[in-house]
Structure 1
């Protein structure tokens, strides 16, 4: 039985103490290891981390090298949100499995990371553009998040339009229910709007409503 090392990351101390986000990662990794008949020998959790310093991740990678084990993470963004950083990890001699896209090879992981980074950049740019335009119109930008919500809505609508051709092709193949569409998008490794999670029937329903 092949051995595996799990790496979990939560972004804040509050998340680390509460288990917010951690439990979902643990469930995803343990279910994958059980189904794939991997022996989960170590679990490394990182609570405090920055883009440049990931002591826990380095520890997990070193454990994999020492024990000839694979590194298992729940989602790609747990490895990092910087495509250059992920590229460096992928180039290491450690085999990596992302449970929400387990069939992805090294090349695919690199591409998905690049796509996710591009989406985050576009969302950020759209938000800044919307806020700047509102400010030029004399809108007072308060702290209630109203303008941010407008900017995010615009970015989400643009994202939905980009996926519209794919949804039409799926419809032509008879794939129309929100559940079947979500399964197909996950199967194809299509990133979500946020670029850091799996498609669910509820998120597909919201996507389809934006195209009406």
Structure 2
């Protein structure tokens, strides 16, 4: 029996493209991965990824999936929720019928892992932004006006978000490399799987076995330090 999909898009109430994943990008990702699949309905919600209880469109999509046995499809896991407990609640309610373009072969373990990584990255962005602003304040003295402060804050956050996105890609790729290595896959096969699932290097290039090897060795070195 072929799976039938319900697509859920979410855009922020802020600037749609701020996260790099506006509505057009989400549609492009999903229709790339689901081009051979049957999509029965699409839902679009304009709301932040915070409180699950207030996201009525998502709840309607979940109800349809639960009733009809459809699979919920999203472009990126943070479109679902920013909270690990909410994401797991949704996963359990769907009985595992969840597809996310950025997490190949999703299961409860990988979902928990990726949500924890994303949560930690948000914490680090907040810390780094504060540190950057404090350093700038020491460099030029007291802030001259609130406009300058806001401009500096936005520029600092934009730079940090860009670095975080690249770092996030490497982290997720590394976690999958570890899982695939545990299954005994070769570096070349792992590189192929990463590329097939839309992963790219920090420079936007396809993964090669040398790139996979570099991330694997970095992971091993971190374990030794720990």
TM range (shorter): 0.5 to 0.7
Task: Please identify runs of 4+ aligned residues in structure 1 that moved more than 3 A.
Answer: 13-16, 136-141, 150-157, 183-189, 197-205
Counterpart of 1:113 in structure 2 is 115
**TM-score normalised according to structure 2 size:** 0.62
Is residue 72 of structure 2 the alignment partner of residue 65 of structure 1? Answer: no
Distance 1:146 1:97, change over 3 A: closer
Q: Is 1:131 aligned with 2:120?
A: no
Please list every run of 5 or more consecutive structure 2 residues that lacks an aligned counterpart in the other structure.
Answer: 178-185, 212-226
Partner of 1:102: 104
C-alpha contact 1:131 1:147 (8 A) present in aligned 2:
no
What are the equivalent positions in structure 2 for 1:146-161 lying under 5 Å apart? 148-149=155-156, 152=159, 156=163
Q: In the TM superposition, what is the alpha-carbon distance from 1:39 to its structure 2 partner?
A: 1.4
Give, in whole Å, the separation in 2 of the partners of 1:151 and 1:62: 37
Q: Unaligned stretches of 5+ in structure 1?
A: 176-180, 190-196
C-alpha offsets along residues 144-163 of structure 1, whole Å, 9 cap, x if unaligned?
A: 32785399459949x86xx6
Q: CA deviation at 1:132?
A: 2.3
Q: TM-score by structure 1 length?
A: 0.66
Whole-Å separation in 1 of the counterparts to 2:25 and 2:162:
27
| Alpha-carbon contact 2:49-2:82 (below 8 Å) kept | no
1:145 and 2:152 aligned: yes
Residue 37 of structure 2 is aligned to residue 43 of structure 1: no
Q: RMSD value over aligned CA atoms?
A: 4.1
- State how many pairs are aligned: 180
Higher relative CO (Cα under 8 Å, sequence separation at least 6) belongs to 1
